[in-house]
Amino acid sequence: MLVLKALADETRFRIINLLLTHDLCVGALADHLGISKAAVSQHLQILRKAGLVRGEKRGYWTHYSVDTSAIHQIVEDLLKRTNQAPDFRVACHRSLPSGSDTKEMERRGLAMCKDCCQQPDRRQGRPEECTPEQIRECHGQEKDHPCIPKEEKK
């Protein structure tokens, strides 16, 4: 989402915060933020492209304001997403209710999470060197661990 990417920058977020209280020109924004007018202009360009601010020509200067309807739309979209039911087709098996096993995962069309063993904080070395505790934390049961050759799983 372009809007969230635009708001992720601290300076752009501060610009939005200032513009929520007053319409300001580039020079005033630069003074308040302690950055150059050129930097403010670049940030405003990103915010305009994201549909968050609009400019209004007043004499020689353009004064910027927040498009509050865009902010309300973002909030509404995020609220809708928080109320969505989980999509088990994209879930890691760790997000399934406890007690679920590989058969249940397969029934739901889920694959074993392949990223857990790729995380260095979860293992000591290569995936093949996972300790039994790491395997249980990552994949549940040892027999389901993708790093263990099939002949050893029996």
Segments making up each domain of the chain, as ranges = 2-72, 93-148
Fold of 2-72: Arc Repressor Mutant, subunit A (1.10.10)
pLDDT tens-digit map of 33-62:
999 999 999 999 999 999 999 999 999 999
Q: How confident is the model at residue 81 (pLDDT cuts 50, 70, 90)?
A: confident
* Beta-sheet pairing, 24-25 with 61-66: antiparallel
Query: Could you tell me if 43 and 9 are in contact, meaning their C-beta atoms sit under 8 angstroms apart?
Result: yes
User: What is residue 42's predicted lDDT score, i.e. its pLDDT?
Assistant: 97
Alpha helices by DSSP H, 36-149: 37-49, 68-82, 102-107, 132-139
Which residue in 93, 145, 143, 101 sits closest to 123, CA to CA? 145
Query: Could you tell me if 4 and 74 are in contact, meaning their C-beta atoms sit under 8 angstroms apart?
Result: yes
Which residue in 120, 144, 150 sits closest to 132, CA to CA? 144
pTM value?
A: 0.58
pLDDT tens-digit map of 3-12:
889 999 999 9
User: What is residue 104's predicted lDDT score, i.e. its pLDDT?
Assistant: 57
